[in-house]
Structure 1
């Protein structure tokens, strides 16, 4: 990640430069020696003179020096100010910059006052190191630069160096850069800390007292306070510049830092700097640039840690816009410490910018922006390769109750993993301004025991929550939510991830009680989407506003012991939202998807488009008390098992919703039902188009009403593979002549008659055999007659072969059904009683002629 930042430039005359070369110095060497004899002495390279006054010899008056234009140069062998002492620079009124260096081997221990006779910018360079004690203070009228660089560099190439001291040239502008050489010394600022209630600093929504009684190192309003060393330690130190600029940088060996003119003085530009050292804030360290126009804080180093209730603060109090708080490093850690930007006037608040390879906000550490008045709050922008936020505070953007300004956005970009645990990331609006947006772009994101939310309780609009996760999104025991409890609408939730797993948590949007605003939409796009246990995706209305839609698009969607729901609660008048699901495989186990109306509002529609839909002990429901609530399913296969259901049932006087199913195969087993029933209204309509419908006897498809059959709905089953013409007999084009069907000698056909009528339509041609399409009736053994009879068997005409053993033919006079349901022809009329056969065949019968 790029570790440099270019400051905005203003139109000023061409500037000079600063160079740093630092001799060997250890952190231990920075231990202050305030009890030793502290002094200010010259090295003789320029015409600086020092006089010591006061009864205790602690007042050092610095005179003369070398003047070049509006610059005054001083060179010291030693420069330290004891506790209770002072170092006073006696400069002329036309001097704008006092540039001083320490060429001796000692660090500078400053625990007293540094002042100037007339306002001027003061530059202090000591490569050995600089320590500011708890009593150190400034009274200089201009900006203050303390550095452990080796030299100041000017625009003509001249270097005012501590290791190669030379007299300044005749014409020199202000420095344009700092030159660092070997092993730069450290800078330490010590103090008692801010003394404020840290819970107030960390708490959002209650105006805290940010006015620390500790003065610390403070410059005049609108000026710059810069500390640029090797390592920099702020141990309980307090740094202040009202509406000005505070710069802290930690530079490694053999580096160069540009100085750029800005409105508040000079800014550090690290464009040509490639290596940094560490910066530590501890023991309630406090950096404060609060003013009529909030000032700027810029911190750049390698490993930057803000710990033990330390805070970085920029508040805007009037109509001027606030400046930014920018922290750039290889790693950034906030541990029970924070960074805060507020606006209390009409001016806009500044932004909070965190950039590092690795960032941690932990143990009640975090970042917060707020607006308390007309001005809009700034944004929080975080960029990292890995980000971890855990244990309380987190990241917040808020508008307070009486404000009209907008809350700022929270923008997070993480190239690698991001983890959130037991914290909140939220944008809230309690005023008339809108809440900010939450935008998270990460390679992977894990959320545990946390909340990511945007909420509005007044007329403002809630912000949108947007996740774009390249790989995996894992949410456990957490909530992602947008809510409205006022007249403003809830924001949308848009989640895009390669895989999304939601367990024991929720993604939800609601229009809360007493609100009139609408709930927000939920849009989820994922390769794989899993809700394995006790999870929910829901939109709800408790009041007048409608609930939002739910739109899910996934290659594979597993819903298990969880639910997807859009509903209206009892007492609400708003409508439920639609639920639309598109998936390759949609599998539901002991779960439900529903859009439900429990009040006067209408239920939404439920639509699922999937290659395969599987329900196991699950339900798809669009139930209502006030109408609407239709279900449309388009799938390759639709499988219902183990008491699953698809319902659009209606209670009260509402009409049952419609169910439309288009599928290749519909399977309903084990008491699985499809119903569009009603209580006191009309049943709904069910339309099913399928290649095949397979259901067990205990699985029903119904659309009835408890009012009776006349109020029942419609069930229409369409199976396109069934050919309605199959089994029909094609009639011959030439109608059979009835005369051709009458035998010339009917007796030749045997005694009795048998009339064939076919299965409806014109009688079959008796000269033709039955086709295979006709219904077949198997012949069975005749039932024995209860009347004894005899028959005479005679020879058949010569044209017919005969047998002496031929049995007499008995004509059929009726048929009966046996115990197997088979048709049996019988020789008696089953509708009559008594003897029905003649024992003798009349001589003139057809049988007698055989």
Structure 2
């Protein structure tokens, strides 16, 4: 039988069948020479050992050529080379594959090359006992530096062998496959240098390489203690370069255009761990690890670890875990407990990376040495999806420092992802963290298109997460930075930076050129989507990190939340939102349990840490049925809330179920001891309507904050409220509490039951102050401005306005629109100061007659004997002195203004100021004739004067005809 070529196999099943039928060598042939060398190889079998002698020696190189090379189960192939040989080059020139299920031995430290372009099977019992490196390849020839080729497809009998060093492996059009079989028991569980007798392994600091067409490791094991392991798959013609190094050989793939596939399954193991971690390089088109297979390059001693690099032209895929639930499919570099060496770096270069169903990619430390860096470069996408069916394994990308004992001080490495699109979903996680005394690493995501973190595990227990954090120990967390076009956090997923111990939490920075969207809740309605930094436990002493969002548009809706908080003694982080277009915070969770929101808070009653600052810089802030708040529920102080919106701030309505009022606030809650922060709003227009609230204050024992608004206009409509209410006595003499300061360039409008209040409740609690500066204040439809105190002294209301319309000062609230500063009793009333140039502030709105006067019938002649007359101007265009004349006609006389005197019954505590000048007329013995005003005009000084038609007035031509006066004069 001529044999079966591996390059014709269609699947792993085909390979396994071939091996089972032909007893691990696919043919009955064993080892035989081919007589193609100047000095041919000799094969002599004695018992179960093939003794191989002869071959052609050129310098320190020894060349062997075989027609077939297979080792049956339990047999040995022994190369009887002299000690000074450095390289043994073996080729198989016949048509059959090499099936090896026994032992290969060499003498001394020689490197062994086995080249068979038809394919190679390394069975479960295959072993190596060689002093140097081992390279198995399905290349067609081995190329040397002087141009010589040692070819397995075109063997030459003439003397073309060389003393030169090999420089490359030349592959043909259809290279054979390499299959490595095993029992799946080679996975590392200890820090022993070589921790198993199973599989293929070479001596420490040597290279073990499989370079073929497709590579399939089915339960097989490859190990070297600190050396190098190379897996390379070449699909078509190409040249793989090789270069001698201290650890054997390195390989280059610049001469390869078409790569094949590499698959590890059934707990297959590739392990280059050593006193100093070994190097692992993998090159293929598709690289797949599944069913608990693992690739590891760890540090077991004091030396630094090596590099683990996976290169896949199309896809790197890690799936699931072993059938016995013991091992996740894994790519890892790490340090073990009790070691001091640093871990090596792990780098993945591919088009797509997929980690799913409980598989893991990690760079970590369990010892005193620093963990390695994990870098993923995926030109298209990185997807981390789900957990194992039993929830034992989470799909994970991580760089972390783990807690093996209290003496761990190793810092975690950094995790960097460079891709077009990142997707984390169904309870999977990407994390850089520290659980020990070492610092956590930084997690940086650069995704040119999008980052999506979606949902939770099937049982809703575990959130899909992108995070940096510290555990219960003292290490500080690293920072999380996301650079992308769009960030989406949805359906109960979380992106966060936190601390659970004494270490500081990391900062979370999002730079999204288009948008950040945090949307929705988990399936069971218990968890909203979250973008957070936090100091998370009541016994946590570490400060939380800051949360910064830089984007064009931020959308938070349907119960999702963006938060920087503290629950312990550590300070809460600051939350800063910089959105060039808009910030929209909308609605509540579908379950109705929590509102959408932006929050900084000290959120537990026993929390002593101060909350951070909340700052929003945008064009438009829109809040509907949601909340934006900086508050405290504990002993720590609440943070300040600052909104800078160049166009508008709109706070509108309530949530759909009516449970949550739309809210913009800085408040100390009912059980809080800490002071609340201030709320500052700078915008063009502030709109609050339909029961919404903008508020500061204290419902606890701490001081309330102050509300400061600078705007061109403020509109409060339909039970809207600006409030700085408090229940706290002033516990801080250096800081005023619960005051409202409004600087409104044009209009402050209150209507339909809207209010501005600084009311106080409680013993010895003084009402806050209200300070308003505006052009026009309009308060109608039972809208009030009040600085009242239920149990003590009222506050102060001071309004500077060009005009106040509708609202009036009163002793107490009425169904009208009121301005009040009442106390517990009249002697405890506060003060109201209304400064309105030229306008009686008690006049309210000017009432016009029901039917506007027609200017055509205005009285223009003297009407002695009549008791009274009136003059009313309607519209904005003016009225001429005579109905038949134009407005510009100057024929009239000026009538002096009559000064208004304050009412004698002005209430106590109210001062009325009028900046208009008072004209004092001299008293005459003969009363002047009162001329009725019938028009108005503007004089040269720009002053408006009333005019009356008289017979002596000088006239000028007009396009109108004069009308004679025929009304009889009484008593003339």
TM over 0.5: yes
Are the aligned partners of 1:682 and 1:713 in contact in 2 as well (CA < 8 Å)?
A: no
1:350-499 matches, within 5 Å, as 350-356=372-378, 357-364=380-387, 365-372=395-402, 373-400=408-435, 403-421=436-454, 422=456, 423-430=464-471, 431-448=473-490, 449-476=492-519, 477=521, 478-484=529-535, 485=537, 486-499=540-553
Q: What is the CA–CA distance in structure 2 between the aligned matches of 1:511 and 1:442, rounded to whole Å?
A: 28
* SS of equivalent residue, structure 2 residue 372: coil
1:373-772 matches, within 5 Å, as 373-400=408-435, 403-421=436-454, 422=456, 423-430=464-471, 431-448=473-490, 449-476=492-519, 477=521, 478-484=529-535, 485=537, 486-503=540-557, 504-513=559-568, 515-534=569-588, 535-541=596-602, 542=604, 543-570=607-634, 572-589=635-652, 590=654, 591-598=662-669, 599-616=672-689, 617-624=691-698, 625-627=701-703, 629-654=705-730, 656-663=737-744, 664-679=746-761, 680-709=764-793, 711-719=794-802, 724=837, 761-763=920-922, 766-767=927-928, 769=930, 772=933
1:17-36 matches, within 5 Å, as 25-28=8-11, 30-31=15-16, 32-33=18-19, 35=23, 36=27
Structure 1 pair 133–600 and aligned structure 2 pair: CA distance change class (3 A): same
Q: How much does 1:509 deviate?
A: 1.9
Q: How many residues align?
A: 718
- Alignment match, 2:55: 65
Q: What is the CA–CA distance in structure 2 between the aligned matches of 1:649 and 1:104, rounded to whole Å?
A: 94
Q: What is the CA–CA distance in structure 2 between the aligned matches of 1:87 and 1:271, rounded to whole Å?
A: 35
Are the aligned partners of 1:224 and 1:245 in contact in 2 as well (CA < 8 Å)?
A: yes
* SS of equivalent residue, structure 1 residue 117: coil
Q: How much does 1:768 deviate?
A: 5.7
Q: How much does 1:493 deviate?
A: 1.5
Q: How much does 1:376 deviate?
A: 1.8
Structure 1 pair 390–518 and aligned structure 2 pair: CA distance change class (3 A): closer
Q: 2:189 matched to 1:186?
A: no
Structure 1 pair 144–418 and aligned structure 2 pair: CA distance change class (3 A): farther
Q: How much does 1:25 deviate?
A: 4.2
Q: Deviations over 1:542-572 (max 9, x none)?
A: 42221111122223332222111111113x2
Q: What is the CA–CA distance in structure 1 between the aligned matches of 2:636 and 2:41, rounded to whole Å?
A: 85
Q: How much does 1:214 deviate?
A: 7.5
Larger CA Rg, structure 1 vs 2: 1
Q: How much does 1:592 deviate?
A: 0.7
Q: What is the CA–CA distance in structure 1 between the aligned matches of 2:197 and 2:549, rounded to whole Å?
A: 47
Are the aligned partners of 1:298 and 1:326 in contact in 2 as well (CA < 8 Å)?
A: yes
Q: Deviations over 1:242-264 (max 9, x none)?
A: 44443333333233333355553
Are the aligned partners of 1:656 and 1:683 in contact in 2 as well (CA < 8 Å)?
A: no
1:11-410 matches, within 5 Å, as 25-28=8-11, 30-31=15-16, 32-33=18-19, 35=23, 36-37=27-28, 39-46=30-37, 47=39, 49-51=41-43, 53=45, 55=47, 57=48, 59-166=49-156, 169-173=161-165, 175-193=166-184, 215-260=198-243, 264-276=247-259, 277-290=285-298, 291-292=300-301, 293-301=304-312, 302-309=314-321, 310-317=329-336, 318-336=339-357, 337-356=359-378, 357-364=380-387, 365-372=395-402, 373-400=408-435, 403-410=436-443
Root mean square deviation, CA, Å = 3.6
Are the aligned partners of 2:638 and 2:667 in contact in 1 as well (CA < 8 Å)?
A: no
* SS of equivalent residue, structure 1 residue 247: strand
* SS of equivalent residue, structure 1 residue 330: strand
Q: How much does 1:303 deviate?
A: 2.8
List alignment gaps of at least 5 residues for structure 1. Answer: 1-21, 202-206, 728-748, 751-755, 777-802, 810-849
Are the aligned partners of 2:350 and 2:377 in contact in 1 as well (CA < 8 Å)?
A: yes
Q: What is the CA–CA distance in structure 2 between the aligned matches of 1:229 and 1:568, rounded to whole Å?
A: 65
Q: How much does 1:78 deviate?
A: 2.6
Q: What is the CA–CA distance in structure 1 between the aligned matches of 2:719 and 2:105, rounded to whole Å?
A: 86
Q: How much does 1:196 deviate?
A: 7.4
Are the aligned partners of 2:112 and 2:135 in contact in 1 as well (CA < 8 Å)?
A: yes
Q: Deviations over 1:73-121 (max 9, x none)?
A: 3333333333333333344433343333333333333333334332343
Give the 4+ runs in structure 1 shifted more than 6 A.
207-212, 720-723, 773-776
Are the aligned partners of 2:572 and 2:600 in contact in 1 as well (CA < 8 Å)?
A: no
Are the aligned partners of 1:242 and 1:289 in contact in 2 as well (CA < 8 Å)?
A: no
- Alignment match, 1:787: none
Which stretch has the larger CA shift, 615-624 or 211-220?
211-220
Q: Deviations over 1:335-384 (max 9, x none)?
A: 33222222233322222222222332223222222224222222222222
TM-score norm. by structure 2 comes to: 0.67
Q: Deviations over 1:302-346 (max 9, x none)?
A: 333222322122222322222222222233222332222222333
